[in-house]
Structure 1
Amino acid sequence: MSGLTEELAGLLDRERIRECVALLARGEDRRDAGLIRAAFWPEATVDYGLFQGDLDAYLDWVVPGSPAIPVTQHFLGQSVIKLLDGTALVETQVLSYHRIDTGEEERDAVIGGRYLDRAEKRDGGWRIARRTMLYDWQQDFGLSADWSKGVMGAPFSGDHYTGRAVGDHSTAFFGGRT
């Protein structure tokens, strides 16, 4: 393989890994077991500190998710990707927003951290074989805003503008596929 071809192959591999990580975050935000499963190899393991186990146990834990956390949103930052022979070590910065229903009120919290993923390439496709979450900080922002009223005093013209863990309008936007 020529130097340019190897370099282009590396760029494509890195982009496919980034897409895998992004689709996993999308699946977690929407509690979509299919999207989550597609990001991992079947024998994958995950360690979030709060949960540690295999993929099936993780899916049982994260889908449909806790009713006490009705909305999440993961913002992914830069990824450092070290390509090895058929594997990759990947660190991705993440900010995760969580709306937490305490039973008496809803609160907004954000966690800053990093995903450490060991990705493997098999039959031309990249998936995660092992994920570990590292937590760098957390902030409780207090009472949640009531989005049903609109934004900055202006009401929404429809009910599809606010995000939902299940039934998100963007799913219809993509035709039910991502």
Structure 2
Amino acid sequence: MMYKNTIESVIAKQDISDVIMRYARAIDRADGPLLHSCYWDDAIEEHGNSYTGPARDYIDGAMERLMKGGDVMMHHVGNIHIEFDGPFAWVETYLLTFARFSKDGEKWDTMTGGRVFDKFECRDGEWRIRHRKIALDWNRDEPMSEGWCLGLFKPEDPRMNMGEKGKGDLTYTRF
């Protein structure tokens, strides 16, 4: 079925897209309050076989893991498809994620392609996630191999801005 865009639907699509982008920033920087702002308090998170339950508990657990021993992580947002159904929107978002994990004392890089399926709800003019499920499409794991562009960049140089979890990251500072 073809839907005609209206000013209201275009604004709603932008609001929903902003929540998805905010989610990516929040999870990658381990910003719990920002991540909580993407979900309604009664939202449900179904994160594959690793978690199913209240989104609040999922977020709090993820923040604890990320701040304790989490390494680099990056979520890239791709196509976003939105269908409206009254105060709800059904949203499919393509994601490409990179994460580094330790296994048996060795660091591994993992790249995963997948999609998140969200049921958004608009309450008092604000769109947030009400229910989220993920679908994983492909994955590649390999031992870490970091050469910083064959030595062009030097992470130990004090002029380098290296990404980090928390408020010390460049995204939270102003220059």
> Does TM, scored on the shorter chain, surpass 0.5?
yes
Confirm whether residue 138 of structure 1 aligns to residue 136 of structure 2.
no
The two structures have a TM-score, normalised by structure 1, of 0.85
The residue that corresponds to 2:173 in the other structure is 172
Query: Do 1:69 and 1:101's aligned partners in 2 also have CA atoms closer than 8 Å?
Result: no
Amino acid at match of 2:62: V
Count of aligned positions: 167
Residue-by-residue CA offset, 1:57-88 (whole Å, 9 max, x unaligned): 11222113254541110000010000111110
Q: Distance in 2 between matches of 1:143 and 1:52?
A: 30
RMSD: 2.0
The residue that corresponds to 2:129 in the other structure is 128
Q: Distance in 1 between matches of 2:98 and 2:110?
A: 6
Q: Distance in 2 between matches of 1:24 and 1:60?
A: 14
The residue that corresponds to 1:64 in the other structure is 64
Amino acid at match of 1:41: W
Residue-by-residue CA offset, 1:12-42 (whole Å, 9 max, x unaligned): 1001000001101111111111111100000
CA distance 1:45–1:104, shift in 2 (3 Å):
same
What's the offset of the Cα at 1:104?
2.1
Q: Which runs of 5+ in 1 are unaligned?
A: none
Query: Do 1:91 and 1:116's aligned partners in 2 also have CA atoms closer than 8 Å?
Result: yes
Amino acid at match of 1:119: F
Identity rate of aligned residues, in percent? 27
Q: Distance in 2 between matches of 1:159 and 1:111?
A: 31
Q: Which runs of 5+ in 2 are unaligned?
A: none
